[in-house]
């Protein structure tokens, strides 16, 4: 193995130093190889290794790494051994960072080893600040720098309104673009570094795949195309952002895949998420809502529940309009949901226990209420 061969894929000493002496020697002798996971489609797993410029290699996944979705995701690094003409995964390396969410009551990895998370939204009815807050919390939780990408600005004459709303979220990175205005894409140049990995997330149809295609005309699609043709649903006239094999219109992405363009930027395209459910994201939520956290610290009582307490800064800020009610509501909602989801992912038993204690607490409140009424 030659480190520089894998460097364009994002390989670094962080991964190399995880290898035991024995693994290291085998990597040197090429009796083991490192691969970056580039696609996971049902049971088919693909990776890019030493010969990455020749395309993907199918990787066999032994039972101890199944279900795959719980062990690694697109963007993760694995070690694999050659078995006949295939490679079999022997080890999954610890990731620099991983994006996860709750899906079907299970933890699901969205992508791993990212430098930036492009949170794509469109300047039309899809736009939703609360949804952006969810994505931000997910990014912060994983220590991945978020970039909010407001796309389809050709569809509105109120771009500044949208931008003002997003600025309220205090994000460092915000760009507004349109596939129909190629110059607008220049604002993304800052993030497009060779060897950097950028994942695109957002609702279906916001233009994640179009953006990957449009940024670089020379995107080399290493992953096999796993796209479904669907009806044209949007009003994009130009086809600049459309894949080569598509002259009809929209293709919805059905699985995650890693793509590398000729400038050496790595992209992870993901299918649109209907409703992002956070998982283990408490710190990320606190960071997203740090204005609220800051206010709460100034409440008169350290254990203030922000209900009726005197000297409550939250109540005061809500009253004088400094703190928008929807922002406060979303904060509470996300915290509750996150706690619930954590239990949900831990399993049905823990979930039952939680519901039990929850209903106990409610019963307590209700019986107290009845007692008070009876007085």
Ligand X SMILES: Nc1nc2c(ncn2[C@@H]2O[C@H](COP(=O)(O)OP(=O)(O)OP(=O)(O)O)[C@@H](O)[C@H]2O)c(=O)[nH]1
Summarize as ranges the residues that interact with ligand X (CB under 6 A): 151-152, 154-155, 178-180, 204-210, 234-236, 241, 249-253, 271-272
Residue 151 interacting partner from Zn ion, ligand X, Mg ion, none (CB closer than 5 to 8 Å by kind):
ligand X
Residues 6+ apart with CB under 8 A from 185: 177, 214, 215
Q: Report how far residue 207's alpha carbon sits from residue 91's, in angstroms, rounded to the nearest whole number.
A: 35
Q: Is the peptide bond before 93 cis (omega within 30 degrees of 0)?
A: no
| Residue 250: CB minimum distance to ligand X, A | 4
| Residue 280: CB minimum distance to Mg ion, A | 26
Q: Which residue has the tokens 């022997």?
A: 90
In the bound state with ligand X, the residue whose beta carbon lies nearer, of 36 and 152, is 152
Which tokens go with 85? 């003409």
Q: 11 φ, ψ to 5°? A: -65, 145
Q: Residues interacting with Zn ion, by CB under 5 A?
A: 299, 304, 306, 312, 314
Q: Is 261 helix (H, G, I), strand (E, B) or coil?
A: coil
Per-residue contact string for residues 233-262; x = within reach of Mg ion by CB under 5 A: --------------------x---------
| Residue 122: CB minimum distance to ligand X, A | 7
Residue with the closest Cβ to ligand X? 272
In the bound state with ligand X, the residue whose beta carbon lies nearer, of 10 and 202, is 202
Which tokens go with 187? 């604002």
Which tokens go with 12? 């670094």
In the bound state with ligand X, the residue whose beta carbon lies nearer, of 126 and 338, is 126
| Residue 317: CB minimum distance to Mg ion, A | 40
One-character DSSP codes across 213-251: HHH-TT-B--SPP-EEE----S-----TTS-TT-SSS-E
Q: Report how far residue 49's alpha carbon sits from residue 258's, in angstroms, rounded to the nearest whole number.
A: 13
User: Running DSSP on this structure, what letter comes out for residue 366?
Assistant: H
Rounded to the nearest angstrom, the gap between the alpha carbon of residue 331 and the centroid of all alpha carbons in its chain is: 19
- Count the residues in the chain: 375
| Residue 7: CB minimum distance to Zn ion, A | 51
Q: Report how far residue 332's alpha carbon sits from residue 334's, in angstroms, rounded to the nearest whole number.
A: 6
In the bound state with Mg ion, the residue whose beta carbon lies nearer, of 96 and 208, is 208
In the bound state with ligand X, the residue whose beta carbon lies nearer, of 77 and 118, is 118
Per CB under 5 A, the list member of 209, 261, 277, 288 interacting with Mg ion is 209
In the bound state with ligand X, the residue whose beta carbon lies nearer, of 19 and 153, is 153
| Residue 25: CB minimum distance to ligand X, A | 43
Residue 306 interacting partner from Mg ion, Zn ion, ligand X, none (CB closer than 5 to 8 Å by kind):
Zn ion
Q: Which residues bind Mg ion (CB under 5 A)?
A: 208-209, 253
């Amino acid at each position: 193995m030659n480190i520089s061969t894998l460097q364009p894929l994002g390989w670094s000493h962080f991964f190399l130093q995880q290898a035991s002496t024995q693994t290291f020697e085998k990597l040197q002798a090429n009796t083991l190889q490192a691969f970056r996971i580039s696609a996971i489609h049902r049971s088919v797993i693909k990776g890019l290794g030493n010969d990455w410029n020749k395309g993907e290699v199918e990787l066999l996944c032994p039972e101890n790494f199944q279900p795959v979705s719980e062990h690694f995701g697109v963007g993760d690094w694995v070690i694999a051994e050659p078995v006949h003409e295939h490679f079999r995964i022997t080890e999954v390396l610890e990731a620099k960072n991983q994006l996860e969410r709750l899906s079907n009551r299970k933890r699901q990895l969205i992508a791993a080893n990212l430098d930036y998370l492009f949170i794509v939204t469109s300047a039309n009815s899809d736009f939703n600040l609360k949804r952006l807050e969810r994505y931000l919390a997910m990014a912060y939780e994983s220590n991945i720098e978020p970039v909010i990408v407001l796309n389809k600005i050709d569809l509105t004459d109120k771009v500044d309104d949208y931008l003002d709303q997003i600025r309220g979220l205090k994000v460092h990175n915000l760009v507004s673009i349109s596939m129909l205005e190629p110059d607008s894409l220049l604002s993304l140049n800052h993030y497009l570094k060779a060897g950097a990995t950028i994942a695109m997330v957002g609702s279906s149809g916001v233009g994640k795949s179009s953006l990957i295609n449009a940024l670089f005309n020379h995107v080399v699609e290493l992953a096999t195309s796993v796209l479904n043709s669907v009806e044209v649903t949007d009003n994009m006239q130009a086809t600049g952002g459309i894949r080569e094999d598509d002259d009809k219109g929209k293709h919805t992405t059905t699985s995650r895949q890693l793509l590398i363009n000729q400038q050496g930027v790595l992209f992870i395209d993901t299918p649109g998420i209907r409703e992002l459910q956070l998982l283990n994201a408490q710190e990320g939520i606190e960071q997203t809502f740090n204005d609220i956290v800051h206010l709460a610290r100034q409440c008169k009582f350290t254990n203030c529940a922000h209900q009726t307490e005197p000297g409550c800064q939250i109540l005061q800020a809500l009253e004088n309009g400094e703190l928008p009610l929807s922002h406060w509501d979303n904060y509470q909602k996300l915290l509750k949901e996150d706690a619930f989801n954590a239990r949900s992912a831990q399993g049905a038993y823990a979930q039952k226990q939680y519901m039990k204690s929850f209903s106990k607490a409610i019963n307590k409140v209700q019986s107290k209420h009845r007692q008070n009424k009876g007085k």
